[in-house]
Amino acid sequence: MRLAERMNFLGGEGMGDVLTQVQQRRARGERVIPMHAGEPDFDTPTDIVEAAVAALRGGQTHYTPAAGIPALRQAIAEEISKTRRITVSPDQVVVAPGVKPLIFFTMAALCQPGDDVICPDPAYPFYASLANFVGAKAVSLPLTMDTGFSIDFALLEDLVTPNTRLVVVNSPSNPTGAILTRGELEALGDIVLKHDLWILSDEIYSRLVYEDSFESIASVPGMSERTVLIDGFSKTYAMTGWRLGYSVTPRELTPHITKLVLNTLSCSVAFTQPAAVEALRGSQEPVHRMIETFRRRRDRLVSGINRIPGLACLKPRGAFYAFTKVSGVDKPSLELARYLLTEAGVAVYPGAAFGSQGEGFLRLSFACSEADIDEGLERIAGALARL
Ligand SMILES: Cc1ncc(COP(=O)(O)O)c(C=O)c1O
């Protein structure tokens, strides 16, 4: 079969490999400790479910406007205005089935062959994958553990060329849990303004923060005009399977993102959209409870990891992953993750799935119970000792 050449640029296999193996093992009835999980292990809050059921019963089963129903765009504009301390109007908002299509649409709308897209490394792998897919070139911005996986701004400036079009930011970060401080966001803003660049700010973990408060690059003066801010419902409201995200862009870009939705998806699922309004406007108590549970698990996981010889991680300040350095093991991270799955029944993601800088690391998720964390760590320690 002759496939289009661009298919060679789609990545993400490092994560797909683990997922497939986990599914196969579970289908055979084997127990797998899910320390690879990329989604909250909580149920969607009941009021949100009820709002979707009411919408279904009320006949909201038809196409909606491509950019989303007005009530949801309004609720999102209010939420972002409040939480990011910027003024957003509903005509800057586009709703889509998840953050992921919006990452794609941003790249498709802004980048073309000849453009460079600077992507943090390690990072969620689909930024680089989709930048390359649309014909641009992903350029890796290495982040290191000794700087807390923060941005090295001198290095970033070195990577900027006349071809640089877009810089991707993901704070709090998957997989490192790092959060950019106000000072770092301002330093980034200076570079973006100086070189006339755009920012894609993936803020999907904005509510899952444990130490300091989260700030958006869009709140730095001059930056909301050149930032595509993307957030969604998957993580904050435990709604991964609902597929709902949104972008907030400068007004001139909104029709183009909307056109991409119209050409590919038509719109987001009708009865999920009133439920998303309920998510934003209803009680935030379930979200607060989830965050407190994640904080307890994080502390347990981090101290457990740092007690195992050969493993070390920093305390993630946000998201729900501990990016763990592995020393003294003579195996690439992909092989080590396979070994832990087959020998110990623990699923983790190999650091290399998040970029070349992730080699030598494993991503351990705390979106699993405290009992799973304890058992998973015990099994990992045993399996490492047998190597
Ligand atoms: C950084 C990051 N962005 C985007 C997504 C995908 O979000 P969604 O489920 O809204 O497509 C994930 C999911 O793991 C993520 O970690």
In this model, does residue 12 exceed pLDDT 80?
no
118-129 average pLDDT score: 97
Are residues 318 and 210 in contact, defined by beta-carbon separation less than 8 angstroms? yes
The verdict on the CB of residue 170 being under 6 Å from ligand 1 is yes
Pocket test for ligand 1, best of 15, 102, 124 (most atoms within 8 A of CB): 124
Predicted local distance difference test score (pLDDT) of residue 18 = 87
Are residues 44 and 282 in contact, defined by beta-carbon separation less than 8 angstroms? no
The confidence band for 13, taking pLDDT boundaries of 50, 70 and 90, is: confident
91-113 average pLDDT score: 98
From the CA of 232, give the closest atom in ligand 1. 10
Fold (topology level) of 46-281: Aspartate Aminotransferase; domain 2 (3.40.640)
From the CA of 170, give the closest atom in ligand 1. 1
Give the helix ranges, DSSP H, for the chain. 13-27, 46-57, 70-84, 99-110, 126-133, 153-159, 182-194, 254-264, 272-281, 285-307, 333-344, 370-385
The confidence band for 372, taking pLDDT boundaries of 50, 70 and 90, is: very high
225-236 average pLDDT score: 98
Predicted local distance difference test score (pLDDT) of residue 211 = 85
Predicted local distance difference test score (pLDDT) of residue 226 = 97
The verdict on the CB of residue 177 being under 6 Å from ligand 1 is no
**Which tokens belong to 299?**
């502390």
Pocket test for ligand 1, best of 130, 235, 237 (most atoms within 8 A of CB): 235
Query: What proportion of the chain, given as a percentage, has pLDDT over 70?
Result: 100
The verdict on the CB of residue 245 being under 6 Å from ligand 1 is yes
289-315 average pLDDT score: 98
Predicted local distance difference test score (pLDDT) of residue 11 = 83
What 3 state SS string does 134-177 have? CCCEEEEEECCHHHCCCCCHHHHHHHCCCCEEEEEECCCCCCCC
Q: CATH homologous superfamily of domain 5-44+285-385? A: Aspartate Aminotransferase, domain 1 (3.90.1150.10)
CA of 100 to the centre of ligand 1 (A): 6
CA 157 – CA 219 distance, rounded (Å): 21
pLDDT tens sequence across 16-43:
888 889 999 999 999 999 999 999 999 9
The verdict on the CB of residue 363 being under 6 Å from ligand 1 is no
Q: Which residues contact 225 (CB under 8 A, 6 or more apart)?
A: 250
CA 149 – CA 42 distance, rounded (Å): 28
**Please, what is the Cα angle at 48 between 42 and 53, to 5 degrees?**
120
CA 268 – CA 265 distance, rounded (Å): 7
The verdict on the CB of residue 204 being under 6 Å from ligand 1 is yes
Distances, alpha carbon 352 to alpha carbons 13, 109, 164, 244, 316, in Å: 10, 29, 25, 28, 19
The verdict on the CB of residue 232 being under 6 Å from ligand 1 is yes
Single out the residue of 320, 322, 356, 351 nearest to residue 15, CA to CA: 351
Cα distance from N-terminal residue to C-terminal residue, the chain = 42
The verdict on the CB of residue 234 being under 6 Å from ligand 1 is yes
In this model, does residue 212 exceed pLDDT 80?
no
339-350 average pLDDT score: 96
CA of 386 to the centre of ligand 1 (A): 35
pLDDT tens sequence across 135-160:
999 999 999 999 999 999 999 999 99
Domain coordinates of the chain in residue numbers? 5-44+285-385, 46-281
Pocket test for ligand 1, best of 104, 121, 174, 230 (most atoms within 8 A of CB): 174
pLDDT tens sequence across 70-95:
999 999 999 999 999 999 999 999 99
Predicted local distance difference test score (pLDDT) of residue 16 = 81
CA of 123 to the centre of ligand 1 (A): 11
In this model, does residue 387 exceed pLDDT 80?
yes
CA 39 – CA 17 distance, rounded (Å): 17
Predicted local distance difference test score (pLDDT) of residue 15 = 81
CA 250 – CA 254 distance, rounded (Å): 7
196-224 average pLDDT score: 95
Query: What proportion of the chain, given as a percentage, has pLDDT over 90?
Result: 96
Q: 13-27 and 333-344 are packed helices; what angle lies between their axes, rounded to 10 degrees?
A: 10
Residue located via tokens 């987001």: 268
Predicted local distance difference test score (pLDDT) of residue 99 = 98
226-254 average pLDDT score: 98
For ligand 1, atom 14: residue with the closest CA: 38
The verdict on the CB of residue 64 being under 6 Å from ligand 1 is no
Are residues 103 and 229 in contact, defined by beta-carbon separation less than 8 angstroms? no
**Which tokens belong to 386?**
């047998």
CA 168 – CA 59 distance, rounded (Å): 39
CA 265 – CA 276 distance, rounded (Å): 18
CA of 193 to the centre of ligand 1 (A): 27
